[in-house]
Structures are given as structure tokens and as C-alpha cells.
Amino acid sequence: MAVSEDFELCFPQLLNASCRKPMQNRAAETVFLYVLLSCISVLTVILNLLVIISISHFRQLHTPTNFLLLSLAVSDFFVGFLMMPLKILETGSCWILGTVICRMFRYCSFILTSTSVGNIVLISVDRYLAICDPFCYSSKVTVKRVQLCVGLCWACSVFYNGVILMDFLKQPDGYNSCHGECLVVISSITGAVDLLLTFAGPITVIVVLYMRVFVVAVSQARAMRSHVTTVNQQRSVCVSKKSERKAARTLGIVVLVFLICSCSYFYLGFAGQDVTTSVDFSIFSVWILYCNSCMNPIVYALFYHWFRRTMKLIITLQILQPNSCNSSIL
């Protein structure tokens, strides 16, 4: 059988069973795209690693809110370390890594997406309690409780995605039309439930909580401006409330960026379109979602003084000095 010169096969030895290689008429643009995506992947790994080291090493940063940021940074780190490189290999090329890696790639992708959504929900709940119930916040939100919630978030994500991808995990190549693909397809009912549980429901909770947070924060700011006092205790309370509002604003930006980046990813599900009929948009939406993992540490660097300071200590290797974990960061 003669093979057309207009295309190449992923696995020429398989002839009709092999997928066609995507045509790459614009080699320069393809190389530029690969370099750009690789740089984003490396930057995502480095920045999130800095966040992980900062919060893990410096004891002054061992707060409930920062442990939520640590969990988010871990999921973002794995997106940059695992998901992005594999997606680069998949983009514009054939899948050549076999069914085992395909299974792991898709499963981990679903897990990290669900975990990120769960972390954002926990951050929203944390800010809601800190702003709307500040007097009971320290008793309700403790480090151990936050660690338990984070652990449950990861465990539930692993279990939940294992259930909805059960058929795919048993037969990872069951939906491939030819050799050289790595497709995952779920039923319409399962997809609808997944959209409700991992997007519509959590997004509703996030939006409602943050609307309440900003309403209360604005009212607190107005009350503080109208009651100027010189009493040290009251001044301390005012400073504390101001710090909590600043944290709510910064994390609100993190939440907003996540919402913007995730909307395109879930759009195809709401539109009822199959991935195979919208390949270009699907690839674009996945990379927009992945880029969110790189943007979170950038937001921290712009708005958190402690992160800029810990970055300097890590880069200059001052964290290797004795008792550096007890350094004053805040």
C-alpha cells in the first residue's frame, strides 16, 4: 500500500492502524511555540517550588491560610513538572509514550484540576471566616484542621476521579481510533455530574463567599475610618483587620484569575461539544488553565512582602544557615 506524500504516519509499520502526524508546514512557528511553552513550564516549576520551600521552611509562615497556599502550590508544581511537559509532547505530535503513561497523564490531569478547585474553595472559606467572623476565626480555623481539610481534598479528588475514569483506567486505549492517540471520553451523564461537582457548584460557593467577604470588608473599612482612636489595644485590632482585608484582597485576585483561566476549560462541557471536534480550542483552553499555575506565585510576589523576602533568602542560599527557619519574615 502506497502512503500519500501529503502526510506521515505516527507508526509507519502499522500502516492503516496508525494515526497521521499533524502537518507542520510552519516549522519556525512550531519551534517558537515549543520554546514558549517550555519556558512557561520551567517558570511554573521554579516559582511554585519557591512557594513550597518558603512556607515549609520558615516557621513564621506556618499559618492556616499559608498551608492552603502550600497545597495550591503543590498542585501547581506538579502541573508544571508533569502535565506541561507531557502536553508539550502531545501538542502537534503523536502520542508515543504508550498506554501506561497515557493513563497516568489523564488521571493526574483530572486529579490536579479537581484539587485546585478544592483548594480555591478552602481559601474562600478561610477568608470568609477571617473577615466575617474574626473573633471566632482563631478557634475555628487551626493548623491541624486545615491540614485535615487539605488531606481530605486530595484524597477525595483521587477517589472521585478514579470513579469517573474507571472505564478509561481499565482500557486507556478504548476510545482511540488509531495508534498515536491518547483520548479520554466520559459519558454525557457522567460529564454533566462532573461539571456540577467540579465547576458549577464550587464556583457558586466561591462567588457567594467572596461577595460576602468584600461587602463586610468595605463596611469594616468605613467603620475604622470613622472611629480614630489612640488606644493601643484598639489600634492593634485595627491593624489586624487591615491585614486580614489585605490578605482577602490578594487571595481574591488569585480566585479571580483562577475563574478566568478555568472558564474556557469547562466551556466545551457546557456547550456539549466533543473534544475531537474542537481540538484547537481544547488545546488552547487546557494551556490557559495550566498557565494559571504559573500566575499564582506571580500574584504572591506582587502583593506579599513575605514571599519577596523569602525568595531573596532562598536564592542567596541564606536558608542554609543555622536556625534560618526561625528568621523574622513578616
pLDDT of 57: 93
pLDDT of 283: 77
- Cβ atoms of residues 266 and 199 within 8 Å: yes
pLDDT of 276: 42
Work out the number of other CB atoms within 10 angstroms of the CB of residue 200.
Answer: 15
Domain limits of the chain? Answer: 28-326
pLDDT of 260: 83
pLDDT of 275: 44
Low-confidence ranges of the chain (pLDDT < 50): 1-5, 229-239, 273-277
pLDDT tens for 1-58 read 444 445 677 777 766 777 777 655 566 777 888 899 999 999 999 999 999 999 999 9
pLDDT tens for 203-234 read 888 888 888 887 877 776 666 666 554 444 44
Residue 141 φ/ψ region, left for φ over 0, alpha for ψ in the -120 to 50 degree band, beta for the rest:
beta
pLDDT of 85: 93
pLDDT of 170: 87
pLDDT of 251: 74
pLDDT of 185: 81
Amino acid at 15: L
| Architecture category of domain 28-326 in CATH | Up-down Bundle (1.20)
Question: Which are the contacts of 16, defined by CB distance < 8 A and separation ≥ 6?
Answer: 1
Amino acid at 55: I
pLDDT of 122: 93
Handedness of CA 86, 87, 88, 89 (dihedral sign): positive
The 8-class DSSP code of residue 93 comes to: S
